């Protein structure tokens, strides 16, 4: 039986917006995108974020233009239980919001994009003004992955398209069980344009 996976995306629901995480001092990180690169990070020290736009408080959101995943204690517990070896949970304080929050850093990268089944792919090329991204994907519409290439991972980023945060159906169901999410899930396995 084929395993199904889902891309976690910003949910189309009323929600608060959180700013890009910084050091507790307010100083920006040298690499503010480091939380979405799919690599193990050395302890960055105390992290904080602020509410950049008030709205309905959600327990799992993407923060800043880098779309850093930030979740509550209940969300962190899902990842602790189902994917302890491939997720770093880094405590982050949210100014003006009580409770414990965590940056959810997926540390595994897999090469599983099924380009032939994606609806539309756009590559960076040598003429693109983004040095260092040659051969990577600029954007993919109708993303599809090959579940046989996921190497048993439950949570991961995609090689050459790390902007995608991918979770297994088991993780998706557990996150939906927590409720009050600021994210939604788009299936990336099965026929393109098929049921979600």
In which band, very low, low, confident or very high, does the pLDDT at 127 lie, cut at 50, 70 and 90?
low
Stretch 26-39: mean pLDDT? 94
Give the start-to-end residue ranges of the domains of the chain.
5-109+154-187
What is the predicted pLDDT for the residue at 135?
75
Measured from the Cβ of residue 28, the count of other Cβ atoms closer than 10 Å reads 11
Q: DSSP readout, 74-127?
A: HHHHHHHHH-TTSEEEEEEEETT--S-EEEEEE--EE--B-GGGSSEEEE--TT
What does the radius of gyration of the chain's CA atoms come to, in whole angstroms? 17
Is the CB of residue 9 less than 8 Å from the CB of residue 167?
A: no
Q: How far apart are CA 98 and CA 26, in angstroms?
A: 19
Full-model pTM: 0.91
User: Taking the alpha carbons of 49, 50, 52, 55 in that order, is the dihedral positive or negative?
Assistant: positive
pLDDT tens per residue, range 40-98: 999 999 999 999 999 999 999 999 999 999 999 999 999 999 999 999 999 999 999 99
**What does pLDDT average to over the chain?**
92
Token pair 């979600």 in the structure block, residue:
196
Under the banding of pLDDT at 50, 70 and 90, the label for residue 194 is: very low
- pLDDT score for 1: 57
Q: What pLDDT does 125 receive? A: 72
pLDDT at 130: 64
> How far is residue 60's CA from residue 80's CA, in Å, rounded to a whole number?
15
């Amino acid at each position: 039986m084929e395993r199904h996976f889902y891309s976690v995306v910003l949910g189309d629901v009323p929600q608060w917006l959180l700013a890009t995480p910084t050091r507790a001092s307010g100083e920006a990180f040298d690499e503010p995108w480091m939380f979405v690169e799919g690599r193990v990070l050395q302890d960055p020290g105390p992290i904080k974020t602020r509410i950049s736009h008030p709205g309905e408080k959600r327990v799992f959101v993407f923060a800043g233009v880098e779309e850093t995943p930030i979740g509550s204690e209940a969300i962190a517990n899902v990842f602790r239980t189902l994917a302890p070896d491939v997720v770093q949970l880094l405590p982050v304080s949210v100014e003006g919001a009580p409770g414990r929050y965590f940056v959810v850093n997926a540390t595994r990268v897999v090469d599983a994009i099924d380009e032939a089944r994606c609806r539309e792919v756009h590559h960076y090329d040598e003429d693109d003004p983004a040095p260092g991204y040659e051969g990577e994907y600029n954007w993919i519409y109708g993303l599809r992955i090959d579940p046989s290439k996921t190497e048993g991972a439950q949570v991961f980023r995609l090689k050459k398209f790390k902007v995608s945060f991918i979770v297994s159906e088991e993780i998706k169901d557990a996150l939906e069980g927590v409720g009050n999410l600021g994210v939604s899930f788009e299936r990336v396995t099965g026929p393109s344009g098929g049921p979600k």
